[in-house]
Amino acid sequence: MITKEIAVQLKHGTILLHKSERQGGGAPYRVRVTGQVQTWVKRPADFRIPVKHGMYVYGEVTQNNGSDWELAP
């Protein structure tokens, strides 16, 4: 589970794994952190982590879907 406390410590290039989504071979869906974690002063519980999967797929991990992700071992 990715919380705000964990999110603010993430560095560029950190690998995150999805808990339930799997790739074609059965391996967990992996994404890489591609930028700086964004936080807001007026919304202290909110965060946004920009991520990338493969060559062309970009996305984000937020407080809404952070419970679906975990740090790679």
Residue 7: per-residue pLDDT: 95
Query: CB of 66 within 8 A of CB of 5?
Result: no
pLDDT digits (tens, 9 = 90+) for 28-39: 999 999 999 999
Range of the domain at 26: 4-71
Number of domains in the chain: 1
Query: CB of 9 within 8 A of CB of 51?
Result: no
Q: Read off the pLDDT band of 68 (50, 70, 90).
A: very high
The CATH number that applies at residue 58 is 2.30.30
**What is the mean pLDDT of the segment spanning 2-26?**
94
Residue 49: per-residue pLDDT: 97
For residue 10, which of 49, 47, 43 has the smallest C-alpha distance? 49
